[in-house]
Amino acid sequence: MEEIFGKGGLIAKNHREYEHRLGQIRMAEAVLRAFEEKKHLIVEAGTGTGKTLAYLVPAIAAALATKKRVIISTGTKNLQEQLMEKDIPFLQKVMPKKFTAAYMKGRSNYACLFKIKKAENQPILEGLDEMDYFDEVRHWSRETEMGDRAELLNLPENISFWPRINAKSETCIGQKCADFEACFITRMRQRADEADIIIVNHHLFFADLNVRGNQYGRVLPDYGAVIFDEAHLIEDIAADYFGFQVSSFQIEELVRDADALPITDAVASREMTKLGAKIVGLADHFWTRFTQARAQDGRFPLVPNAFAERNRQGAVEPTPLGEAYFALDGALERLETAVDVYAESMTEAESLLKRTRQTRFDLDFVCTQSEKNYVYWLEKRGRGMFLRASPIDVSSLLQEKLFEKTETVVLTSATLSANGKFDFIKDRLGLEPQKTETLQAPSAFDYEKQAIIYIPKAMPDPRAPEYTQMAANEIVKILQITQGHAFVLATSNYSMNALYELVSMRVNYPCLVQGSMSKAGILDRFRKTSNAVLFATSSFWQGVDVRGDQLSCVIIDKLPFAVPSDPVVAARTRFIDDSGGKSFFDYSVPQAVITLKQGIGRLIRSKTDRGVIALLDTRLRTKSYGRDFLNSLPRMRITSELQDAARIFD
């Protein structure tokens, strides 16, 4: 690793922006050791460590030495594309031994040739303005090598017809398709089968892990090791894919595809249409039953007796919601029987039959609530209703399906420790201490010189009604010192919008707010607008990179504790308490620490960056757990005087 990453090494000779980084070398050595000793490894490597090359080089060496491919799983598709377009080509040029690499995305990112041809004769467009977009997609599909939607730069994100022509597995007819050999999914899998390194994202990896070994086979080729970049996201993504979900859109799509089956018998076709209309009516009734109990935020946990309860005589009887479920399930069963008649003669019917059976299975799993380790809830998004079940604790599932079956798993991120320890991440993911090594790679940045933390002297409790107004006052004063150039990161949409309204009218700097345009669009606007201030939440706490003077201040309104009313969060905390733990200190605080570190990480992105981190939540000083937060941050000066904060720019 020294020969490759050292001052006179291979990378230094070939990379114009090379910087010698001790943390990078230590991380690369630790990753290589994990491969050689067949152990798991957790590495916390902050921005500027050079962690991408630090894990790629040992991964390539291990794949070539063992003849077992290595999976690199990233937190976002953007990082996935960066690896394939920048880092992998660079290493393919300079590494002494040749290696091959491929990337795989979820099927819905790719166009389906069969569906595009079929769509030419079907009404799938919602308006005349979409005709030009469809023509562009049709011509592109005949010329593209990959079939990846990301190539269509002019296609709007929310174009209505893409879900009807993408290659999602639910509607795929497999090897019976006339376009199977030319299919973009077939080609993607062929490239992956021949590759030493495969770049995926967490969603695709856990989609594969969930089905691996059952009747649906696998999504990814077999592998010997896995490296997770942005590993702090794993628990929530794994919980999603080990869970179950049925949506109103899903049932509507079943009915629509049943009605589109090429049935030549006019009587049978009419009966199928009538059955579809019956299912739509019963589904509407089923979803309507939830609205009376729906919480204000659109989510609520399902109580165990939501679908059935005991009467006065002690007998179990369905509730009105249960009656609506049984009626819908009965109609779906009739659809299953009707479609089964055509399954052998029609590939479309065979696919539809599998989807109908899976929908009934998932619906039954959620409605019967038989698994005690799961939390069940309803979520409303726009006009869609989603009935969901998610495992409360994924540690045993990950231990069984991933860590016990894979020789080496490397987990890396800028934020994996809390208070200098990795106990939280090990416990949440099911990593055995004796089989897991850990490393905190030294940062390449001098935080004591490059940044300062400002905590106001006097702020009310964040739950006090006057808190938002007081926070806005502080933000105005801070922005006068930094002359804008700031992210204001809020812990909720309500806080974000309230602070935007209160601050934007009192400062002369351009103020932007998340949601007014796409994430990429508003980030581009921020970079190009002098003295801009961006008010944001959730997705802007991580994965956002703005270097230089344009971002000189990150203001965080409150400590980012998870919303206690969230069904999954509530179930996890209750599970910990019932098991004898203390959920606030064992779960809530460490999780909030990691999220806070992500938000703070937006500020210092290079060795020349300077700036102020303003933490408006004075619980950092008044509560005992505040020390856990401060001890987890890079070593920086802390002040309550704005004049001190201003001097960081001298």
- pLDDT per position as a tens digit, 586-632: 999 999 999 999 999 999 988 899 999 999 999 999 999 999 999 99
The per-residue pLDDT for 20 is 82
Per-residue pLDDT reduced to its tens digit, 231-251? 999 999 999 999 999 999 999
One-letter amino acid at 359 equals: T
Tell me the whole-structure pTM to 2 decimals: 0.88
Q: Span 370-393, mean pLDDT?
A: 90
Look at residue 292 and tell me whether its pLDDT is greater than 90. no
Please indicate, yes or no, if residue 199 is contained in any of the structural domains: yes
In this structure, are 574 and 611 located in the same domain?
yes
378 three-state secondary structure: strand
Pairing of strands 637-639, 384-391: unpaired
Look at residue 294 and tell me whether its pLDDT is greater than 60. no
Please indicate, yes or no, if residue 295 is contained in any of the structural domains: yes
Please indicate, yes or no, if residue 182 is contained in any of the structural domains: no
Residue 632, domain CATH: 3.40.50.300
In this structure, are 294 and 431 located in the same domain?
no
Please give the Cα distance from 399 to 360 (Å, whole number): 29
In this structure, are 348 and 460 located in the same domain?
no
Look at residue 404 and tell me whether its pLDDT is greater than 90. yes
348: confidence class by pLDDT, cuts 50, 70, 90? confident
In this structure, are 114 and 199 located in the same domain?
no
Domain extent, residue 303, equals: 244-391
Look at residue 293 and tell me whether its pLDDT is greater than 60. no
In this structure, are 210 and 311 located in the same domain?
no
Residue 305, domain CATH: 1.10.275.40
The per-residue pLDDT for 296 is 44
Please indicate, yes or no, if residue 645 is contained in any of the structural domains: yes
* Strand order from edge to edge, sheet including 511-513: 511-513, 533-536, 486-489, 553-556, 611-615, 451-454, 637-639
110 alpha-carbon distance from chain centroid: 19
In this structure, are 52 and 115 located in the same domain?
no
Please indicate, yes or no, if residue 180 is contained in any of the structural domains: no
Per-residue pLDDT reduced to its tens digit, 358-367? 999 999 999 8
Q: Which residue has the higher pLDDT, 381 or 622?
A: 622
The per-residue pLDDT for 423 is 94
Of 18, 218, 248, 252, which Cα lies nearest the Cα of 104?
218
The per-residue pLDDT for 76 is 83
The per-residue pLDDT for 124 is 60
In this structure, are 379 and 453 located in the same domain?
no
Look at residue 122 and tell me whether its pLDDT is greater than 70. no
Per-residue pLDDT reduced to its tens digit, 407-416? 999 999 999 9
In this structure, are 164 and 40 located in the same domain?
no
Q: Span 255-262, mean pLDDT?
A: 91
Beta strands in 175-307 (DSSP E): 197-201, 225-229, 244-247, 299-301
- Phi, psi at residue 256, to the nearest 5°? -60, -45
* Strand order from edge to edge, sheet including 197-201: 101-103, 197-201, 70-74, 225-229, 408-413, 40-44, 436-440
In this structure, are 498 and 590 located in the same domain?
yes
**What is the number of domains present in the chain?**
4
**Of the ranges 236-250, 297-311, 471-485, 489-503, which one carries the lowest mean pLDDT score?**
297-311
Please give the Cα distance from 86 to 81 (Å, whole number): 8
295: confidence class by pLDDT, cuts 50, 70, 90? very low
What is the 8-class DSSP label of residue 96? S
In this structure, are 380 and 457 located in the same domain?
no
Per-residue pLDDT reduced to its tens digit, 179-213? 889 999 999 999 999 999 999 999 999 989 988 76
Please indicate, yes or no, if residue 179 is contained in any of the structural domains: no
In this structure, are 316 and 340 located in the same domain?
yes
- Give the end of a domain, one of 440, 475, 499: 440
The per-residue pLDDT for 300 is 65
In this structure, are 617 and 488 located in the same domain?
yes
- Give the end of a domain, one of 152, 169, 186: 169
Q: Span 42-65, mean pLDDT?
A: 93
Look at residue 216 and tell me whether its pLDDT is greater than 70. no
125: confidence class by pLDDT, cuts 50, 70, 90? low
Give the rounded percent of residues in the chain with a pLDDT score beyond 70.
Answer: 96
User: Within a 13 Å sphere around the CA of 577, how many CA atoms are in the beta-carbon half?
Assistant: 9
Please indicate, yes or no, if residue 51 is contained in any of the structural domains: yes
Please indicate, yes or no, if residue 523 is contained in any of the structural domains: yes
